[in-house]
Chain A
């Protein structure tokens, strides 16, 4: 009956399997703590169920249900095409503007939605945090994963548009998962910082809409990154979403020029943000139940 697979040590101090199986030691943690990623693995079923809950519940009691996943990026594309493409005549690197915008809106919406849900997740789940123990990391991760379903649905429209415009993807299309991972990692790394901060400072909740709006304009969604002067391009990569969006366009729409140095900078930024976020989250974790 003792499922030894469940390593439930607070500090990772496994004392040893005794007659009764698992031994847990609870004591105050001090200083820098380990990330305990193995524990996260033990709780993968919970991550699965929470992700599944977020997916199931998202469009309950909506009249058109999952169609929302398509409508949001689709109408954003229509608006962008009218105002930026037709009226402002923003260049689109020779790609038809609607698909140019839609291809960028897909990862963007995945990112902004995941960022928003993830940042509010700890506060939204305070009932769980104050009543049950599990690795808290699961909470901001679950909504990010759930967002992938919306992405998948909206992606079908992109395939339709590619057929319509007769765009044949090159072999670069196989790099899409990498850019997807980069988008998810960006959302998650910012989400980790903000969700933990939001527990203590509710100001965060009000800054998120502002932040995502600001970020949208700093990302080449409505315009190509080629508008940015060559010498500034690498600096532009400090916004990881620039790398993601340009990567998507390159992989799917066959833009001749790959994202290059911009992408390298983006990846570095995400790695730093992500690891920093993990440690910050872990450090704050122990006070969540008391403060939230």
Chain B
């Protein structure tokens, strides 16, 4: 008898670069086959062919080994591209490892996305059963927990309405509720909590805590250090596909924050479903490249549209690593009820914050696109990071953990 829930032994995952981005077409194969003899001839000098090989492949994970005991809640952290999601995908058997093996004791449920398989035309009730089946629950299991799930999601009144009429909050709550009620020993969770409003996040975190307290084993990937600290008993820090630290949550989080203040450079975002490309996001920084508190902050999105796009919501968010939750979030549709029409070609869209009254520090800018009440096309709370630094507004703003905001106020003293 062992108390080991998961044993990961020298797991490696190899990707061929470009495999994901470029679909192969038969034409490519045919031309490749025709040219293959010539290439083989060219590559007869061995050094050359070896070079080619190492450039074309990337180890998303390499030599990753760890053990998880039953009842442990493990936080897996690391920068984007460190291999966290690949690890979760292997653990949930979505993709196969290239080498190594994993031994899992117990039933695994994975939640890599909220609402996988939800169909907008189906009602809440129908989606609940469908989604449950997709997650590997038995019909009887769902029926047994049905009332509890619906109550958790707070959608009792709308359970027989197609989910396309749901608000995004209701949609998220229902989707999370199904997954949270899986009766399994081991739960693998990706950054699902980053989606949705703060109330929803709190609720999910609470549920996750319950799950953890019931002695379930949880593997939890997050960029939200506050959540990791709160939930997890142990942490694993990944960097470039390898484990660099494995120990107490406190240690791991601190070493991540110390060494890895995530400087996120903006990379163009392509949203194929809408035919959009976010080519640039610019902030009005000063000459030293920092954002000044107490000044207006403009966030400008340069979006290239392949054709006219309507019925979407654009969202920007501001978060900070050390603070739980989203500090600021605005969605064109849901916050301001603006119907954004992107015209074919270049579009410039600016969110102007009249007074950026957050204290100095390192912030992350997030960006999301949704079809309101239907789905998220893109959601990333960290598309670029920026520094905010005041130059003349007094000492208190720089004190850590003292105050996050400055709210406009004054003192009135009457003697």
Chain A residues engaging chain B, CB cutoff 8 angstroms: 1-3, 6, 8, 10, 15, 18-29, 43, 45-46, 48-50, 52-53, 56-57, 60-61, 127-134, 200-203, 286, 289-291
Task: Write the chain A residue with the least CB distance to B9.
Answer: A27
- Given the complex, which residues of B lie within 8 Å of A290, measured CB to CB? 15, 19-20, 95
Q: How far is the CA of A27 from the CA of B102 in the complex (A)?
A: 7
Q: Which 7 A-B pairs have the closest CB atoms?
A: A27-B101, A133-B93, A26-B102, A49-B133, A24-B104, A60-B121, A20-B105
B1, B23, B25, B136: the one within 8 Å of A18 (CB) = B1
B27, B96, B122: the one within 8 Å of A286 (CB) = B96
The reply to whether A23 and B103 form a contact with Cβ atoms under 8 Å apart is: yes
B15, B91, B112, B139: the one within 8 Å of A131 (CB) = B112
Task: Write the chain B residue with the least CB distance to A48.
Answer: B133
Sample 23 A-B pairs with CB under 8 A, ordered by A number: A6-B107, A8-B93, A10-B93, A18-B1, A21-B106, A22-B107, A24-B102, A24-B103, A24-B108, A27-B97, A28-B96, A43-B136, A49-B133, A53-B126, A57-B121, A132-B94, A132-B110, A132-B117, A132-B136, A133-B94, A200-B23, A286-B95, A289-B94
With contact pairs A24-B108, A26-B101, A27-B101 given, residues A19 and B1 touching in the complex (Cβ less than 8 Å)? yes
- Given the complex, which residues of A lie within 8 Å of B97, measured CB to CB? 26-28
Q: Does B130 count as interface, using CB distance less than 8 angstroms? A: yes
The reply to whether A132 and B23 form a contact with Cβ atoms under 8 Å apart is: no
A3, A21, A57: the one within 8 Å of B119 (CB) = A57
**Chain B 382-397: CB-based contact to A (< 8 A → 1; otherwise 0):** 0000000000000000
* Given A26-B91, A26-B97, A27-B96, 6 additional A-B pairs, CB 8 A: A2-B106, A27-B101, A46-B133, A49-B129, A53-B130, A128-B117
Best-surrounded residue of B29, B106, B110 (most CB of chain A within 10 A): B106
Q: How far is the CA of A1 from the CA of B145 in the complex (A)?
A: 14
Q: How far is the CA of A57 from the CA of B127 in the complex (A)?
A: 12
Q: Does B157 count as interface, using CB distance less than 8 angstroms? A: no
**Chain B 221-263: CB-based contact to A (< 8 A → 1; otherwise 0):** 0000000000000000000000000000000000000000000
Task: Write the chain A residue with the least CB distance to B375.
Answer: A127
- Given the complex, which residues of A lie within 8 Å of B23, measured CB to CB? 200-202
- Given the complex, which residues of A lie within 8 Å of B25, measured CB to CB? 201-203
Chain B residues engaging chain A, CB cutoff 8 angstroms: 1-2, 5, 15, 19-20, 23-27, 29, 70, 89-108, 110, 112-113, 116-117, 119, 121-122, 126, 129-130, 133-136, 138-139, 183, 185
Q: How far is the CA of A60 from the CA of B100 in the complex (A)?
A: 47
A20, A25, A53: the one within 8 Å of B185 (CB) = A20
Q: How far is the CA of A61 from the CA of B96 in the complex (A)?
A: 39
How far, in Å, is A259 (CB) from chain B's closest CB?
Answer: 35
- Given the complex, which residues of B lie within 8 Å of A25, measured CB to CB? 101-104
With contact pairs A56-B122, A128-B134, A130-B94 given, residues A20 and B106 touching in the complex (Cβ less than 8 Å)? yes
The reply to whether A53 and B105 form a contact with Cβ atoms under 8 Å apart is: no
Q: How far is the CA of A48 from the CA of B116 in the complex (A)?
A: 17
Task: Write the chain A residue with the least CB distance to B7.
Answer: A25
B104, B105, B129: the one within 8 Å of A26 (CB) = B104
The reply to whether B108 and A8 form a contact with Cβ atoms under 8 Å apart is: yes
- Given the complex, which residues of A lie within 8 Å of B130, measured CB to CB? 49-50, 52-53
Q: How far is the CA of A43 from the CA of B108 in the complex (A)?
A: 15
Q: How far is the CA of A29 from the CA of B99 in the complex (A)?
A: 9
Q: How far is the CA of A128 from the CA of B112 in the complex (A)?
A: 10
- Given the complex, which residues of B lie within 8 Å of A15, measured CB to CB? 103
- Given the complex, which residues of A lie within 8 Å of B20, measured CB to CB? 290-291
The reply to whether B101 and A46 form a contact with Cβ atoms under 8 Å apart is: no
With contact pairs A49-B129, A130-B94, A290-B95 given, residues A22 and B138 touching in the complex (Cβ less than 8 Å)? no
Q: How far is the CA of A24 from the CA of B106 in the complex (A)?
A: 8
- Given the complex, which residues of A lie within 8 Å of B101, measured CB to CB? 25-27
- Given the complex, which residues of B lie within 8 Å of A19, measured CB to CB? 1, 105
Q: How far is the CA of A2 from the CA of B20 in the complex (A)?
A: 37
Q: How far is the CA of A137 from the CA of B29 in the complex (A)?
A: 26
The reply to whether A28 and B94 form a contact with Cβ atoms under 8 Å apart is: no
Best-surrounded residue of A8, A21, A52, A53 (most CB of chain B within 10 A): A53
The reply to whether A26 and B90 form a contact with Cβ atoms under 8 Å apart is: yes
- Given the complex, which residues of B lie within 8 Å of A50, measured CB to CB? 130, 133
The reply to whether A53 and B119 form a contact with Cβ atoms under 8 Å apart is: yes
The reply to whether B133 and A26 form a contact with Cβ atoms under 8 Å apart is: no
How far, in Å, is A244 (CB) from chain B's closest CB?
Answer: 29
Q: How far is the CA of A1 from the CA of B20 in the complex (A)?
A: 39
With contact pairs A49-B133, A134-B134 given, residues A28 and B121 touching in the complex (Cβ less than 8 Å)? no
The reply to whether B107 and A201 form a contact with Cβ atoms under 8 Å apart is: no
- Given the complex, which residues of A lie within 8 Å of B90, measured CB to CB? 26
How far, in Å, is A275 (CB) from chain B's closest CB?
Answer: 23
Task: Write the chain B residue with the least CB distance to A199.
Answer: B23
How far, in Å, is B25 (CB) from chain A's closest CB?
Answer: 5
- Given the complex, which residues of A lie within 8 Å of B136, measured CB to CB? 6, 43, 46, 132, 134
How far, in Å, is B107 (CB) from chain A's closest CB?
Answer: 6
- Given the complex, which residues of B lie within 8 Å of A203, measured CB to CB? 25-27
- Given the complex, which residues of A lie within 8 Å of B2, measured CB to CB? 18
- Given the complex, which residues of A lie within 8 Å of B106, measured CB to CB? 2, 20-22
How far, in Å, is B248 (CB) from chain A's closest CB?
Answer: 25
The reply to whether B96 and A29 form a contact with Cβ atoms under 8 Å apart is: yes
- Given the complex, which residues of A lie within 8 Å of B122, measured CB to CB? 53, 56-57
With contact pairs A27-B101, A201-B24, A286-B95 given, residues A20 and B70 touching in the complex (Cβ less than 8 Å)? yes
- Given the complex, which residues of B lie within 8 Å of A133, measured CB to CB? 92-94, 110
